[in-house]
Structure 1
Amino acid sequence: MTEHQHVTANADLTELRRSLDVGLTRMDGRLALLLHRGEQTEKDLEDLETRVSGIERGRWPLPGVAALTALCALAVSVWQAIGHY
């Protein structure tokens, strides 16, 4: 291998190493961004679950309200039927 070929090979290896370092740095940045987005998504999901739980606790128990309404309607019907005779 001549001196010129040796210098050219070293320059090529240096350029290849620089390209590899740049690529790895770019990938590290993208991975860090994905990690950050994943953590933010987890936080948003936990907040959403907390809000949904609060809404579920605060809502009216519809089956109970329906049963109570039916009982009241039955009581009024019986009262009217007894009151008219």
Structure 2
Amino acid sequence: MPDGEVALELAEIRRSLEVGLARIDGQFSLLVQRSDQSERAIAELEDRVAALERNRWPLPTLSVLIALVGLALALWGPPGR
């Protein structure tokens, strides 16, 4: 095999490797972008859940207060009923 053919084959192999590596690099970039988007979405969901948990605390307290008021009204009512 002459040296010129070897050089051409090596150049073709190099181009193929460069194209393949560029494609792999693009796929990795896409995966990193998707990972970043997922992390942002998870952080937003965590913030929303935390906000819901903070706003939820009065509900049990209100239900206890309503039950106590109902009990107080039942005990305070006239004994003839």
Is 1:72 aligned to 2:76, yes or no? no
Aligned partner (choices 5, 9, 13) of residue 12 of structure 1? 9
TM-score after normalising by structure 1 = 0.78
Structure 1: runs of 5 or more not aligned? none
Query: What does residue 84 of structure 1 align with?
Result: 79
Count of aligned positions: 80
One-letter code aligned to 2:79: H
Distance 1:67 1:47 in 2: 32
Distance 1:60 1:53 in 2: 11
- When Rg is computed on C-alpha atoms for both structures, the one with the higher figure is 1
Deviations 1:24-79 (CA, angstroms, capped at 9, x unpaired): 01111111111111111111211221222222222253322222122112111101
Distance 1:55 1:70 in 2: 24
Query: What does residue 34 of structure 1 align with?
Result: 31
